[in-house]
Amino acid sequence: MNDEMTENLMDPNGDTLFAGQPVRVVERDGVRYTLLGTAHVSQASVEVVERAINSGRFDAVAVELDPQRLQALTNPDALAKLDLVEVIRKGRVALFAANLALAAYQRRLAEQLGIEPGAELKRAVGLANERNLPVHLIDREVGLTFKRASQRLGFVGKIKLVMGLGTGLFASEDVGEDEIEKLKQGDMLEASFGEFASESPALYETIIGERDRYMATRLREVHDPAQREVLAVVGAGHLAGLARYLETDTDAPGPLRESLESVPKKRNIPWITLAILAIVLTGIAVGFYRGGLGVGTELLAVWAMYTGGLAGLGCLLAGSHPLSILTAIVVAPFKPFRLSIPTGAFAALVETRLRKPAYEDFLKLRDDAQSLKGWYRNRVTRVVLTFMLTNLGSMLGLWLTGFQVWSKVGA
């Protein structure tokens, strides 16, 4: 295995093939991997990709994409086929919201810079297909990366992560020059998560370090003896790590890829919620014991008023249908009997049934997701708001009930 720099890479006419672009070349197992580092928001990167593939020297092209992101780049209307009910039932609303945040951030960049983020990746796939070259999608699915990152973060870390995504989602001002320069040398996912990505070692390792190794593993896994020259187009921020892992990793690629895709199954036990519930229910039991039926019934009424009332208020603030609000109010007090199913899921399902998103809502999703007004206007994003704000109200209601119950029992 060896590593060389870009100056020696020439096209058939003798011109420097990758002038001005960072390149690493790694030879392994009879394959020469040319790793091209690009800026996801640069027309120059698009032109270099075109020049490289048109040179005719490569047998295959690999890109920093997964099937879902490729579909988003090449077929934006694919969102119109999304089954929102299944998203809610399978508990993927948070992931769906994160993808909307990423799409909104990319759209802001596209409007500001006049180039679609990831245009060089899209062009690499399209040009390779035109020349009948094999295309390898080597990046890990965004959903897996998000889940693995979330599992590494504590409660406060997850709150910061959501805030970082929200900032990228609803910010109306142009992306700053410093942020654009960092993006040119970094990674789209890292930039989308905001400053928290660089401040959190766990998050940074998951979205950068792990993906470096994942992409190196995929390159080895898709190895074909007939493909002796492979061009890999990746963000510049991945170049050094990808080259290092491609040179040094000795683990079998198949099992290694599976380990980097796995999301350890944790026992979904909401300890904080259970603790608060235990406090509340114990307080209500003490109220019945000390004050009899009158005090106990009053505490139960406090429970229903706070949990149902604030869940309904959250649903109302989401602009939800009156029956969705009523569902939130009725369902929230029964939290002890359905710990694993959030109140927002019931309200969101009702909202979806009563105000079923139209084809046009999905087509406008990327544009509407860029502003808070758009979230309320679009029926798809309003379902997400219903889910999130109802859950927030239900959680606040549970906490306030705990304070109220023990203040009454203690008195």
Of 191 and 56, the one with more pLDDT? 56
Domain boundaries, the chain: 3-261, 271-410
Least confident segment among 24-28, 166-170, 301-305, 314-318: 166-170
**pLDDT reported for residue 324:** 95
56-80: average pLDDT: 83
Q: What is the pLDDT of residue 161?
A: 65
- The residue type of 34 is T
SS3 409: helix
Predicted structure pTM score: 0.70
pLDDT for 399 equals 83
User: So what's the pLDDT on residue 257?
Assistant: 93
253 CB contacts (<8 Å, ≥6 apart)? 217, 218, 220, 221
Choice between 83 and 125, residue whose per-residue pLDDT is larger: 125
| Residue of higher predicted confidence among 166 and 210 | 210
Q: What is the mean pLDDT of residues 369-373?
A: 78
Instruction: Please report the pLDDT score of residue 3 as a whole number.
Output: 46
Q: What is the mean pLDDT of residues 320-349?
A: 88
Q: What value does the mean pLDDT take over residues 296-300?
A: 73
List Cβ<8 Å contacts ≥24 apart for 79-82.
Answer: 79/362, 79/363, 79/365, 79/366, 80/359, 80/362, 80/363, 82/362
Cα radius of gyration (the chain): 25
Place of tokens 């909104």: 104
Taking alpha carbons only, the member of 68, 289, 14, 176 closest to residue 168 is 176
> What CA–CA distance (Å, rounded) separates 235 from 37?
5
Lowest mean pLDDT among 95-109, 136-150, 232-246: 95-109
Residue 60 banded pLDDT, cuts 50, 70, 90: very high
Report the alpha-carbon distance of residue 20 to residue 7 in Å, rounded. Answer: 10
Tokens of 83: 């089954």
Higher pLDDT, 194 or 307: 307
Please report which confidence band the pLDDT of residue 329 belongs to, taking 50, 70 and 90 as the band edges: very high
User: What sign does the CA torsion over 218, 117, 241, 213 have?
Assistant: negative
| pLDDT value at residue 409 | 60
**Which of the residue ranges 37-51, 121-135, 330-344, 396-410 has the most confident prediction, judged by mean pLDDT?**
121-135
Say yes or no to pLDDT of 121 above 50.
Answer: yes
pLDDT greater at residue 379 or residue 363: 379
Higher pLDDT, 151 or 170: 151
Position 162 scores a pLDDT of: 65
Q: Which amino acid would we find at residue 45?
A: S
Give the per-residue pLDDT at 299: 73
Interatomic CA distance for residues 410 and 403, integer angstroms: 10
Overall average pLDDT of the 80-96 stretch: 74
- What confidence score (pLDDT) does residue 14 get? 47
Answer yes or no: is pLDDT of 175 > 60: no
Predicted pLDDT of residue 258: 93
Quick one: pLDDT at residue 408? 66
pLDDT at 124 over 60: yes
**Secondary structure (3-state) at 369:** coil
Q: What is the pLDDT of residue 36?
A: 92
Q: What is the DSSP string of 196-221?
A: HHHH-HHHHIIIIIHHHHHHHHHHHH
Strand partners for 23 = 36
- pLDDT score of 171: 56
Measure the CA–CA gap between 119 and 43, rounded to whole angstroms: 8
Q: Which is nearest to 48 in space by CA: 35, 58, 63, 38?
A: 38
The pLDDT score that the predictor gives to residue 252 is 93
The pLDDT assigned to 38 comes to: 85
